[in-house]
């Protein structure tokens, strides 16, 4: 039996006592009163009283039954704890156990399973999955493992073991159960051991941030030996953004027509007070969750403008801006103030657009992009060809440049990939859209992509490393 089911059984027993004891007491009082009167035939008043008591008891009984159904501990589909009960029990257990680890375990391919095998079969698989997980943990001497369904195929586990041990268990579970009922399952997981931070919501948010950073199907906790205090990390990221401690680096991009490097793609890291320098995969999920996209984007644009005014005017910069900022009408005014204050021409800026699915409200999105385009800012579509969203943007948004997905560079030897790339290049030329390829690492590839009509090339064949701000200014400063 699952720990959640045993807790639900105990809750129902307590509820039965709550329902039964008051009724028995009332009946006992009435019987005692009648016996005390030495009468065995009740009067009319006593009959009315008994009926009233029965009515009130019945109403009370149904009220508690409905209340009990609403207050259930378990998720009816899987038998695991539901979200609200999970967080309550997790909070209690974290205070009572040391060490204690919290794990986010995701059934990554649940949407695929639901689409191809049907939702009913997907639901049955979830229930079997939970029971297999429970049995597996108990076999590995985890008494009463806490398993709760947080959302969809996401489960939160509370285990009274160290972080390293919890990750070993997840690795073992993943290798043991690669399919359930002849259906292949794909797992993704992340864990953290409780530290000074015992706030369950903070820990769960941190786990979601960690999971979003992973590119592989699983995550080995032994790769992350340093324990992180999620709340402190959040504060450090927010502080770094507010104080604009952004470290920019610039990736040189070659213009194949002029044979000059006059375009730089901008990368950014954060300098934090205690956690050191953080790459985007560490701070972007936190920024998105806290709603700091616009604050970060304004700080980034300001930092780029400060460097831009110290280099030659023909040098242009491409950089990513969050879709959330680009859908905010007041963001246009922020761009005006920053560029105007630094005295930098809008024509030197290229904003990169990237989303993995088409944006539905393209009309409003288009209005804001058109306002920025009227200023002189251009737009590049990043990772072109990686998803169907690329074609939607080409049709509906003002795109000036496409930056091809790296698959077109790395797999150019594949005839189909090469044919697609040639077709895309010709289509872009007919629409007067510039083209760019990345990951070009040899002189042979450099010549090949120049000859087939690519406008801009990026990679080790152009420059073997990005330039920090000081080096950029030193090399390209002045006229």
Residue 404 pLDDT greater than 70, yes or no = yes
The CATH number linked to 416 is 3.20.20.450
Residues 249 and 379 in one domain: yes
The domain boundary residue, chosen from 182, 205, 228: 228
Q: Which residues span the domain enclosing 377?
A: 233-476
Residues 177 and 147 in one domain: yes
Residue-level pLDDT at 68: 55
Residue 236 pLDDT greater than 50, yes or no = yes
Over range 333-362, report the average pLDDT. Answer: 83
Confidence class for position 231, pLDDT limits 50, 70, 90? confident
Over range 404-416, report the average pLDDT. Answer: 92
Predicted confidence (pLDDT) per residue in 378-387, tens digit: 999 988 887 6
Is residue 122 domain-resident? yes
Residues 307 and 421 in one domain: yes
362 HSE (CA, 13 A, CB side)? 13
Residue-level pLDDT at 264: 97
Residues 131 and 109 in one domain: yes
The domain boundary residue, chosen from 174, 205, 228: 228
Predicted confidence (pLDDT) per residue in 121-167, tens digit: 889 999 999 999 999 999 888 888 899 999 889 999 999 998 889 99
Residues 163 and 185 in one domain: yes
Residues 155 and 51 in one domain: no
Confidence class for position 222, pLDDT limits 50, 70, 90? very low
Is residue 77 domain-resident? no
Is residue 328 domain-resident? yes
Share of the chain above pLDDT 90, in %: 45
Residue-level pLDDT at 223: 45
Residue-level pLDDT at 291: 86
Predicted confidence (pLDDT) per residue in 417-465, tens digit: 999 999 999 999 999 999 999 999 999 999 999 999 999 999 999 998 8
Confidence class for position 218, pLDDT limits 50, 70, 90? very low
Confidence class for position 394, pLDDT limits 50, 70, 90? confident
Residue-level pLDDT at 213: 72
Predicted confidence (pLDDT) per residue in 238-254, tens digit: 999 999 999 999 999 99
Distance between CA atoms of residues 358 and 161, nearest Å: 43
Residues 219 and 283 in one domain: no
Residue 388 pLDDT greater than 60, yes or no = no
Predicted confidence (pLDDT) per residue in 80-122, tens digit: 888 888 888 888 888 877 788 999 999 999 988 888 888 888 8
* Token code pair at residue 449: 């992509």
Residue-level pLDDT at 238: 93
Confidence class for position 170, pLDDT limits 50, 70, 90? very high
Residue-level pLDDT at 447: 94
List Cα–Cα distances, 466 to 248, 269, 277, 304, 335, in angstroms: 10, 13, 16, 15, 26
Across 33-47, 172-186, 282-296, 306-320, least confident range: 33-47
Residues 193 and 242 in one domain: no
Q: What angle do CA 318, 322, 325 make, to 5 degrees?
A: 110
Residue-level pLDDT at 220: 43
Residues 327 and 416 in one domain: yes
The CATH number linked to 211 is 3.30.70.270
Residues 140 and 87 in one domain: yes
Is residue 47 domain-resident? yes
Is residue 76 domain-resident? no
Over range 194-220, report the average pLDDT. Answer: 71
Residue-level pLDDT at 26: 66
Across 70-79, 85-94, 170-179, 356-365, least confident range: 356-365
Residue-level pLDDT at 262: 95
The domain boundary residue, chosen from 228, 249, 268: 228
State how many domains the chain has: 3
Mean residue pLDDT across the chain: 84
Is residue 78 domain-resident? no
Residue 356 pLDDT greater than 60, yes or no = no
Distance between CA atoms of residues 439 and 458, nearest Å: 6
Is residue 127 domain-resident? yes
Predicted confidence (pLDDT) per residue in 257-274, tens digit: 999 999 999 999 999 988
Residue 355 pLDDT greater than 80, yes or no = no
Is residue 174 domain-resident? yes
Residues 311 and 438 in one domain: yes
Residues 224 and 237 in one domain: no
Residue-level pLDDT at 211: 85
Residue-level pLDDT at 199: 77
pTM here is 0.69
Residue 40 pLDDT greater than 60, yes or no = no
């Amino acid at each position: 039996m699952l720990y959640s089911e045993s807790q639900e059984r105990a809750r129902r027993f307590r509820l039965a006592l709550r329902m039964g004891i008051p009724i028995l007491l009332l009946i006992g009082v009435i019987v005692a009163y009648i016996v005390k009167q030495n009468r065995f035939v009740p009067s009319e008043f006593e009959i009315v009283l008994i009926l009233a008591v029965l009515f009130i008891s019945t109403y009370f009984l149904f009220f508690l039954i409905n209340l009990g159904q609403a207050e259930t501990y378990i998720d009816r589909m899987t038998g695991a704890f539901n979200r609200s009960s999970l967080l309550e029990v997790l909070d209690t257990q974290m205070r009572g156990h040391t060490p204690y680890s919290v794990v986010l375990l995701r059934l990554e391919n649940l949407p695929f399973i639901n689409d191809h095998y049907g939702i009913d079969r997907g639901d049955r698989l979830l229930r079997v999955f939970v029971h297999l997980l429970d049995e597996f943990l108990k076999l590995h001497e985890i008494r009463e493992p806490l398993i709760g369904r947080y959302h969809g195929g996401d489960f939160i586990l509370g285990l009274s073991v160290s972080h390293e041990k919890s990750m070993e268990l997840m690795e073992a579970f993943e290798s043991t159960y690669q399919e359930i009922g002849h259906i292949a399952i794909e797992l993704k997981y992340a864990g953290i051991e409780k530290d000074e931070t015992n706030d369950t919501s903070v820990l769960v948010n941190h786990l979601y941030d960690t999971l979003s950073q992973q590119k592989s199907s699983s995550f080995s906790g032994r790769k992350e030996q340093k324990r992180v205090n999620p709340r402190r990390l959040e504060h450090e990221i927010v502080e770094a953004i507010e104080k604009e401690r952004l470290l920019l680096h610039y990736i040189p991009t070659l213009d194949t027509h002029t044979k000059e490097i006059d375009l730089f793609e901008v990368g950014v890291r954060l300098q934090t007070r205690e956690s050191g320098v953080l790459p985007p995969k560490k701070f972007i999920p936190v920024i998105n969750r806290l709603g700091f996209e616009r604050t970060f984007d304004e700080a980034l644009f300001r930092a780029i403008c400060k460097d831009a005014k110290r280099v030659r005017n023909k040098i242009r910069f491409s950089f990513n801006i969050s879709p959330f900022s680009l859908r905010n009408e007041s963001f246009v005014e922020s761009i005006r103030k920053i560029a105007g204050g630094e005295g930098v021409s809008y024509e030197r800026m290229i904003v990169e657009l990237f989303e993995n699915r088409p944006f539905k409200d393209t009309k409003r999105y288009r209005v804001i992009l058109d306002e920025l385009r009227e200023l002189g800012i251009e737009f590049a579509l990043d990772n072109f060809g990686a998803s169907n969203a690329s074609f939607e943007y080409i049709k509906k948004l003002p795109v000036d440049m496409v930056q091809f997905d790296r698959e077109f560079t790395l797999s150019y030897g594949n005839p189909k990939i090469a044919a697609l790339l040639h077709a895309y290049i010709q289509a872009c030329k007919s629409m007067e859209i510039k083209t760019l390829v990345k990951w070009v690492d040899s002189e042979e590839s450099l010549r090949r992509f120049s000859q087939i009509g690519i406008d801009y090339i990026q990679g080790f064949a152009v420059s073997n490393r990005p330039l920090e701000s000081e080096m950029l200014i030193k090399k390209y400063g002045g006229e």
